[in-house]
Structure 1
Amino acid sequence: MQTITCAILTFCAALWTSYLPALELTPAQQTAKERGIALFNQFRVGGSYLLIAAEAGDADAQYYLGEEIRTLNRFITRESQKWLEAAANQGHIYAMIRLGRSGNDLCAVMGNCPSGSKSPGDWLRHAYRVALPLAEQGDPEAMFLMYKITLDTDWRAKAAEAGHAFAQYGEAISIKQGRGFYLFGNRKKAVEKWFKASAEGGYPLSMQYYQEILAERDDWEGVRYWQQKAAETGHAESIYTLGAYLSHEPEGAGHELDLVKGYGLISLLLDLDGGGGMLTTAKETLPLVAAKMTPEQIEQALAFAEEWKATHPPVSYFPDKLSIY
């Protein structure tokens, strides 16, 4: 799956799905699945869409539906466990890991976790048995999942070396925070190496960090390039950053004033009525930009936004598909 498609669902969590049993969704079911996952990645409720594909037997939709229910309730309920187990029983490794972590869930503290077909330890061991052969064959996603299962950072390092962009981001952050021993400026070089590799692999948070590195060198052309690339992934904060700089609210990175494109980009964030805080930021900035525009320019900006929606991935906060929450 290419980077841009990966962004539509959630970042780089689809490579391993080729090992799941084949399931042909109808066009309507596939559209519902993609809409539901897009809403999930915007911290909005997409369960009614996910349910359509989940009931059709799609493991990824089952996983996201289980995760949404779990997140809304702040712990695994019977309903969320039902869907997570449905996905796990089809070989969905993320679902296995989530079920394996349920021993640390709030319900475990409260003593009211629903009983399942396997214990949390059983699910983790099962995930290990499924992921290990794939990792040993060189599959980057399986290597990263082995890190998630074992918390052994050697597996994350292997995944990074194999080209897994999220693992490369994790390596960069870990080294930046002091992991490992480096002489002189070698730590900084290692951090840059991994952020650059991850950015080139399509991960927008790495693009943001790499922009900071380029800005320190006054490479503003490079900064502008990666700001555009990050926005094109659908990353909410990056869309806002590019829109704000194009609108000169504030000026920065040497962008020429483009009120139409700037307003249009920021207006994309008006749909984010779930969480994440970008809706408030957009509402505060848009009137400042609009004050510099004619009504015709605002109409052009809204038309630009509609065209962007039709040709780019949905806006996303890019949450970790297997967050600790």
Structure 2
Amino acid sequence: MIWQSFLFRFSVGLILVFTIFFAQAETSSKRAEELFKQGYTLYQQRLSDSALGKFKEAAQLGHVDAAYYAGNILRRNHTFITEEAEAFYRQAAKGGDVYAMLRLGQEGRLCGTLRNCDYDREKWISKALDTALSRAEAGDSDAMMELFSAYWAAGDRKSAFEWTKNAAEHGNAFAQYWLAVGLLDEREMGFYWTEAGRRADILKWLKASAEQGFPKAIFKLATEYSIDGRFDEATEWVDRMGQTDYFDALHEYGLVLIAGPDGAKNRIQYPEPRPIEGLAVLLALHRETGNPSVKYSIDRHLNDLDSDTAAKARARSEELLVDTPILHYLPKFGI
């Protein structure tokens, strides 16, 4: 009986220990995710210095993505991989982050003070390919985009293009946008017998991405439709630009509304000028971001608007973008 009582008490104690352990682990995991989300929003607002502390704290709690972004900010701050950045990249790579592996596989001036950073470059590129490939073959479109970056880093542009196309065909909105941008010759992706065929695919993929709500695609699609003289379709997507939280789209949206059909040739045309709404968007955007280029746009147009229009715009701006984080949609690996 004594032995059975001991076993019972031991079992209860063990269960209690495991319960406390897992509860603490769950709390740490939730805290790490909360910190990461806060840091990521700051990062996308281009407030990297503020984001870094959040990412570091989340990384200390084991958050893989946070470790990658902490390494990325440190690398960009110094223009090369420091020992501290390397430590975060290695933490993320150990957790399976393909982009961290690719950073560790980069060569040239990115290595900075790390004298031996080229030593295992090929190993890291190979590991990135192997890690992403199994998930991509199982239908993971994010892994397919990881393969784009991995094959591009390995110098295999044909495979990079093919995996981007696979990801786009699997409905990945970023891949659809990235493919369209690539077809615009910014990355010299794909071969076409005619420019008309290339153009049709550019618009097809941009529209597919925009219809999923990806803000960069919405902005780009409006621009490309305007270039082609498809103004009714361009107007539809201009209106969608104003519903996003994307800095570039909102800035352009305000300028387009002010100019109306008389906008510059390199700017999207809009059927009628709406100076009150356009200026209000710019004022709200500057209030939320303090961006000097937006302030310049405001000052440039205020001289052309009467005081009544300006007053109405200021009043209207108080209702716009309230407590809305304005984001730049920076890619994870592209910068």
Q: Same fold (TM over 0.5)?
A: yes
The residue that corresponds to 1:171 in the other structure is: 179
From 263, 274, 284, the equivalent of 1:267 is 284
The residue that corresponds to 2:4 in the other structure is: none
Counterpart of 1:281 in 2: which secondary structure? helix
For 1:200-237, what per-residue CA distance to the aligned partner results, in whole angstroms no more than 9, with x for missing partners? 23333332332234225654343233223334332211
Instruction: With a CA cutoff of 8 Å and minimum separation of 6, indicate the structure with the bigger relative contact order.
Output: 1
> Displacement of 1:185 after TM fit?
2.7
For 1:85-128, what per-residue CA distance to the aligned partner results, in whole angstroms no more than 9, with x for missing partners? 11221112221222222x234335xxx31667x82322222222
Distance verdict in 2 for CA 1:75–1:184, change over 3 Å = closer
Equivalent-residue separation in structure 1 for 2:223 and 2:297 (angstroms): 23
Distance verdict in 2 for CA 1:224–1:24, change over 3 Å = farther
Distance verdict in 2 for CA 1:52–1:266, change over 3 Å = farther
The residue that corresponds to 1:144 in the other structure is: 145
TM-score under structure 1 length normalisation: 0.76
Task: Assess if the C-alpha contact under 8 Å between 1:141 and 1:159 holds in 2.
Answer: yes
The answer to whether the aligner puts 1:206 opposite 2:221 as a matched pair is no
The answer to whether the aligner puts 1:70 opposite 2:87 as a matched pair is no
Equivalent-residue separation in structure 1 for 2:122 and 2:258 (angstroms): 53
Task: Assess if the C-alpha contact under 8 Å between 2:75 and 2:85 holds in 1.
Answer: yes
From 296, 300, 304, the equivalent of 1:284 is 296
Moved more, 201-210 or 260-269: 260-269
From 291, 300, 304, the equivalent of 2:315 is 300
TM-score under structure 2 length normalisation: 0.74
> Displacement of 1:63 after TM fit?
1.2
Equivalent residue letter for 2:276: L
Moved more, 258-267 or 232-241: 258-267
Task: Assess if the C-alpha contact under 8 Å between 1:261 and 1:304 holds in 2.
Answer: no
Distance verdict in 2 for CA 1:230–1:63, change over 3 Å = farther
The answer to whether the aligner puts 1:244 opposite 2:250 as a matched pair is no
* Number of positions where the alignment pairs a residue of Structure 1 with one of Structure 2: 288
5+ residue gaps, structure 2 = 1-24, 153-158, 264-268
Equivalent residue letter for 1:303: E
Task: Assess if the C-alpha contact under 8 Å between 2:282 and 2:298 holds in 1.
Answer: no
Task: Assess if the C-alpha contact under 8 Å between 1:62 and 1:87 holds in 2.
Answer: yes
Quote the RMSD (CA, aligned, Å).
Answer: 3.1
Equivalent-residue separation in structure 2 for 1:228 and 1:81 (angstroms): 44
> Displacement of 1:42 after TM fit?
3.1
Larger Rg: 2
Q: Percent identity?
A: 23
The residue that corresponds to 1:162 in the other structure is: 170
Equivalent-residue separation in structure 1 for 2:179 and 2:248 (angstroms): 22
The structure that is helix-richer by fraction is: 2
> Displacement of 1:271 after TM fit?
5.0
Equivalent-residue separation in structure 2 for 1:263 and 1:219 (angstroms): 27
5+ residue gaps, structure 1 = 1-20, 274-278
Equivalent-residue separation in structure 2 for 1:54 and 1:301 (angstroms): 42
> Displacement of 1:136 after TM fit?
0.6
